[in-house]
Every structure is written in structure tokens, then in C-alpha cells.
Amino acid sequence: MSQIGIIIEREFNERVRKKSFIITTLLMPLLVVALMVAPSLVMIFATGDTRHVAVIDHSGVIAPSLESGSEVVFEPTDLSVDDARKNLTDIFGVLEIGPDILSNPNDVKLYTNTSSSMLVEDNIRSQIADIIEREKLKKYDIHNLPEILKEVETTVSIQTFRNDGEGDSEAQSSVISTGIGFVLGMVLYMFLIIYGGMVMQSVIEEKNSRVLEVMVSSVKPFDMMMGKILGVAAVAAVQVLIWGVLICGVSALAMPALIPSDIMQNVEAMQQGTLNMAQTDMDMDMLRAIGTATDFGYLATIFVWLLLFIIGGYLLYSALFAAIGSSVDSVQDAQQLQTPVMMPIIFSIIIMMTILNDPNSTLAVWCSYIPFTSPVVMMARIPSGVPVWQIVVSLAILYATFVAAVWFAAKIYRVGIFMYGKKPSFKELWKWVRYKY
């Protein structure tokens, strides 16, 4: 086996056998699922509380029409405001409605015993607005008003079809694809920082422990550096593959089995474009979300791109991180030198939110060609649909830049591993690049 192969093998084995690797690899998908499920769980439990609000209605119009629900229970009272505030301290609060509420809709006061709640305020605001609206309409004396109101009430939902060039179009939920884009962008960001940092730290360790001094007589510095970078890359690839298999498997196999079959039938009908919208009472957004989340082909394609961008982005950045690691003696010393390397990664995370809102803006397209931002930005865009040629061009630029970065990093590495003591400046690093050996 070639020397570089032996080094790759060592780097890979050392990391994959670690307990921390096994734990994160298996727990991460669970964590992602938990993060996705948690908000709805919180919603369910948060609404469990029922708040009691005493109502003092000086107008006499509002109180009879207020509807109590599971969140807020309205209790009309004859007490004066002062008495109510003094005596009713064990309820959520007291609502006072002004006498001319119809002409002065701002004359509403809520006295609370604890801190107020958005939920309660929203409930009160929208109910009062509705009641006032209805009262005002009543003045026009329209015949059959309730029936007319019911008749004109409309909700609109959009079915999105992406034209993928073969005349074959499929519906995707843009909510879900934006969500996936966000998650993928974050995953890329984490991989670049964590795995890049891992390479840097491990180079510093080898230098500090003087293992490099022993190795350098048997292995060329370039092979040493590449062996480490590729060994860690293999670890990253294995981790992504495991996650891909787990998530695709859960989504495509487990979820359809768990979701009630009548919903799945509707989802399938919608995906085939045969769903009769008038005949279903299901929420279109939910159907589309489920459709996207259980679309195996869609998820698998995304994972292939994810793998390519994670590896490409990692290779580019880890070469730079390896160069930094070789030129310093401690992680603390590395901080100043790694700032310029970290900047583009952090920049891409900052602009990611803008890009998610408009995945095909000029900024988004440019940033997905620039190799230092392309991994994060492109991955955030891909779930919303990016032409394949754009992805291929972006990958080509990324991998070409990696080759250049390795050449550059190897020069610094060669010199850096024998330099102890003083932390080099950027000027000195540039001098090292031009050293001849």
C-alpha cells in the first residue's frame, strides 16, 4: 500500500473508532427530527392553559358576542373596573370596553394580573374587530347577510409545479424546500467549521508532539498533508452517507407507513396531478409538505449534491486550515491566522437568509459560483430547484480551487512544520510560499 494510503487509513480509523463519532453520527438525525417536531409539541402543550378574563362592557355590544374558547374564557361581570381589579386577582385579567366602541375601536383596555400574553391579546383583538365589522355591516340592512358572508369567504392555496425540462413536473412545497435549504446550509456551515477545525487541530497536535519530525523522514510533507485531508474527508463522507441513508429511509419508508392512508392517497393523487381540489377538505399546504418530505427521488438527489458540496467545500477549506495549523504552535496562536479563512464561511451563513427568500437572485447566483461561498449558498438553493448545469459549473470551480489551494497550502506546510516558537505574520507566510526546496 502506498504511504498516502497508510496515512489515510490511520486518520480514518482513529476518528471513526472514537465513541464521540459514533454517538454524533447516530444521534444527529434524531436531533434534527426532534428540532422539527419540537415546535408543534410546544404548541400543543402551550395551549393547554385556559385564561379567564372578566369583561366589563360599557357599550353592551361586544360582551354578548365574545366567544370563549380553549385558550380564553370570557366572563362578563357587573363590577366596576376598580372593584374588579381589586377583587378578581386569581384570574388572568380584566377587559374594559369603552361605551363608544363602534366609533372608537381603540377604547379597549386590558388589566392583567400577570404578564400579558400575545395569544390572549391576539384573540381579543381579532374577536372585537370581527364583532365591530359585523355590527357596522348590520347598519346597511342587507338581506341574508350571514349567508352572503359565508358565501364570499375564500381561502387561496397555490399548487407549484417545477418545470424540470422533460415536460415532467412535480409539485413541491416551497415552505418545505426553504426549510430543507436552511437545514442544508447550516449542515454545510457546520461541516466546514468542524471538519476544517479538526484538520487544523490535528496538524498542530502532530507538530507539538513532534510526531511530524519522526514521520517526515519516511513520508513527503505533501503526502502527509494530503493523507490527513483525505482521511478526514473519508470520515465526513461516511457520516453524510449514514445520515443520508437514515433520513431518506425514514422519510421514504417509515413516514408513508405512519401517516393515515387516506392522507397518503391524496398526496399521491396530488403528485400525479389528478387531485380534484374541490373534492378534498384537506389542507393543501400540508399535503404538499408531506409529498415533498416523502419524495424519495427528490431527497436522494439532494443528498448526492450535498455529499459533493460537503466534500468539495471541506477539501478547499481543510487545505487552508492545514496550512494554518502547520505554521503555529497552539490553537490560540491559530486564531488570528484563521480569521480570513473563516470570514467567507460566516459571510455565506449571513447572506443565506436573503438567498432563501429569493433563491434565484443575482446575489444568490454569484455567490454560488464563488468557491469560498458556493458550498453553503448552493446547498441552500438546491432544494428550491437550481438548473443542473449551474450546479455542475459551481462544483467544477470549487474542485479546481481546491487543487490551487492544496498547492498553496503544501508550500506553507513544508516550511511551517519545522518552524517553532514565534507565530508567523501573513508576510512571513507569503515568504514561505515562495521558498524553494
Partner 1 sequence: MDLLTVEHVSKHFAQHTALDDVSLSIPQGSIYGLLGPNGAGKTTLIRIINRITAPDSGRVIFDGHEIAPADIFNIGYLPEERGLYKKMKVGEQALFFARLKGLSRREATVRLKEWFVRFGIQEWWNKKVEELSKGMAQKVQFIVTVLHEPRLLIFDEPFSGFDPINANLLKEEIMALRDKGATVIFSTHNMSSVEEICDNITLINKSHNILSGPVDEIRRRHGDNLFRIEYLGDEEALRRRLEGQCEVLADTGEEPGRYRTLKIHIADNDVRSVIAAVNDTVELRSFTEIIPGMNDIFIRAVNGSLK
C-alpha cell at 324: 494554518
219 lies in the binding site for partner 1 (CB under 8 A): yes
Which of 235, 180, 234, 232 is CA-nearest to residue 202? 232
C-alpha separations of 350 from 189, 211, 367 in Å: 11, 39, 12
Which listed residue (110, 186, 216, 433) binds partner 1 by CB under 8 A?
Answer: 216
Residue with smaller CB distance to partner 1, 25 or 202: 202
Which listed residue (47, 68, 218, 265) binds partner 1 by CB under 8 A?
Answer: 218
45 lies in the binding site for partner 1 (CB under 8 A): no
C-alpha cell at 386: 437550481
422 lies in the binding site for partner 1 (CB under 8 A): no
DSSP string, 339-404: HHHHHHHHHHHHHHHHHHHSTTSHHHHHHTTSTTTHHHHHHHHGGG---HHHHHHHHHHHHHHHHH
Q: State the burial class of residue 115 (Cβ atoms within 10 Å of its Cβ: 0-12, 13-18, 19+).
A: exposed
Stretch 268-307: interaction string toward partner 1, x if CB under 8 A: ----------------------------------------
10 lies in the binding site for partner 1 (CB under 8 A): yes
Residue with smaller CB distance to partner 1, 84 or 204: 204
Which listed residue (106, 217, 332, 357) binds partner 1 by CB under 8 A?
Answer: 217
Stretch 237-266: interaction string toward partner 1, x if CB under 8 A: ------------------------------
Size of the site for partner 1 (CB under 8 A): 19
Stretch 172-211: interaction string toward partner 1, x if CB under 8 A: ----------------------------------x--xxx
3 lies in the binding site for partner 1 (CB under 8 A): yes
Min dist CB 1 to partner 1, Å, is: 7
Min dist CB 433 to partner 1, Å, is: 13
Min dist CB 14 to partner 1, Å, is: 7
- Other C-beta atoms closer than 10 Å to the C-beta of 349 total 20
- Provide φ and ψ at 368, rounded to 5°: -90, 0
Residue with smaller CB distance to partner 1, 138 or 210: 210
C-alpha cell at 427: 508576510
75 lies in the binding site for partner 1 (CB under 8 A): no
- What SS3 state is found at 53? strand
Residue with smaller CB distance to partner 1, 234 or 286: 234
419 lies in the binding site for partner 1 (CB under 8 A): no
In one-letter notation, the amino acid at residue 225 is M
Evaluate whether 119 touches 92 at the Cβ level (below 8 Å): no
- Provide φ and ψ at 113, rounded to 5°: -85, -30
C-alpha cell at 96: 374594559
- Provide φ and ψ at 78, rounded to 5°: -100, -5
Residue ranges binding partner 1 (CB under 8 A): 1, 3, 6-7, 10, 14, 206, 209-211, 213-219, 431, 437
